[in-house]
Amino acid sequence: MADPQTPKVEADAPPAKPAQTPQAGRPVPHGKWQEVADTPKKADVPAGMWMRCPSCEAMVFRKQVEQNLWVCPECEYHWRIGADARVAQLCDPDSFEPMWTDLKPTDALGFVDMQPYKERLEAQHKKTGEHDAAMCGVGFIKGRRAVLACLDSRFMMGSMGYIVGEKLTRSIELATAQDLPLIIVSCSGGARMQESSISLMQMAKTSAALAALDDAGGLFISVLTDPTTGGVTASFAMLGDVIIAEPKALIGFAGPRVIANTVRQELPEGFQRSEHLLEKGFVDRVVHRHDLRREIGRLIDYAGK
């Protein structure tokens, strides 16, 4: 696990401009995919420097934002954080044991878009130090033992390929076998197009494992963060017994621009944002990042786990 003191954050994604969803099995224009995959890293300023909030545009002190769990002290904007920072925020100190860290993705299809998939994987590994976009394991949240799986937007936009699906499925099965509460924190552009139908199969695989968890009377708390889109929304992320969302997170299947162009109608205010989904019943509660740990602990107690 990387040093939780220096999480890399993509501070460059303003909420008003959600990226297009990369969906496997659907041709995505190269430029659009690239936009999602390699978001420009304007936020890569050295530690101890000032940074600009993409929401209120205030200049904020980086250290202060970090101490504030990567929430803007001026406007409550929630920055995207990596899986390591998420684990550090949610778990009791040093209680998280990462599992299945040796699983590495392969390029079964020999996929080439702008860059061979194999090279892309190597570049992403170099950039993040991770083998894929999921960090899974067992830890304690406010003293409650739980299986925790976090998707990592730094690695190919948190997209779900075979390894992500496999690690999530193993996490779900572990929660089922040991009767532990399961928490999955989603942060993903959807299924990974470079793995085509193999990535789509992960939707069925994770959903089937969750059905078995449900039959066994397990508890699954799904936490949706910015962004949760595509095949992730269409599978495990929406199957939580309780679905929590961080404020103003983009949550949807296809991107809003695609929908607006398809239905040829103006979309309602706040469309595909947490608060709108709460109003429409897709999300059970919107929880500020500061309260997430406490809320998860409360729900585990409430479910008697």
Residues that bind Zn ion (CB under 5 A): 53, 55-56, 72, 74-75, 77
Alpha-carbon distance of 292 to 70, in angstroms, equals 13
Cβ 161 vs Cβ 194: under 8 Å:
yes
Q: Residue 72 CB, nearest distance to Zn ion (Å)?
A: 3
Q: Residue 10 CB, nearest distance to Zn ion (Å)?
A: 15
Instruction: Report which DSSP code applies to 57.
Output: -
CB closer to Zn ion out of 74 and 214? 74
Q: Residue 229 CB, nearest distance to Zn ion (Å)?
A: 23
Instruction: Report which DSSP code applies to 298.
Output: H
CB closer to Zn ion out of 70 and 253? 70
Q: Residue 54 CB, nearest distance to Zn ion (Å)?
A: 8
130's CB contacts (< 8 A; 6+ apart) are 83, 124, 152, 154, 155
Alpha-carbon distance of 113 to 50, in angstroms, equals 37
Give me 172's structure tokens.
């779900």
CB closer to Zn ion out of 51 and 149? 51
Alpha-carbon distance of 166 to 101, in angstroms, equals 12
Q: Residue 192 CB, nearest distance to Zn ion (Å)?
A: 31
Q: Residue 95 CB, nearest distance to Zn ion (Å)?
A: 31
CB closer to Zn ion out of 130 and 226? 226
Alpha-carbon distance of 132 to 66, in angstroms, equals 24
CB closer to Zn ion out of 11 and 198? 11
Could you tell me the CA-to-CA distances from 107 to 25, 35, 121, 194, 204 in Å, in that order? 16, 22, 9, 8, 21
CB closer to Zn ion out of 74 and 241? 74
Could you give the angle at the alpha carbon of 234 between the alpha carbons of 233 and 237, nearest 5°? 45
| H helices present in the chain, as ranges | 30-37, 62-67, 83-90, 117-128, 162-178, 196-215, 230-233, 256-263, 274-280, 292-302
261's CB contacts (< 8 A; 6+ apart) are none
CB closer to Zn ion out of 56 and 212? 56
Q: Residue 7 CB, nearest distance to Zn ion (Å)?
A: 18
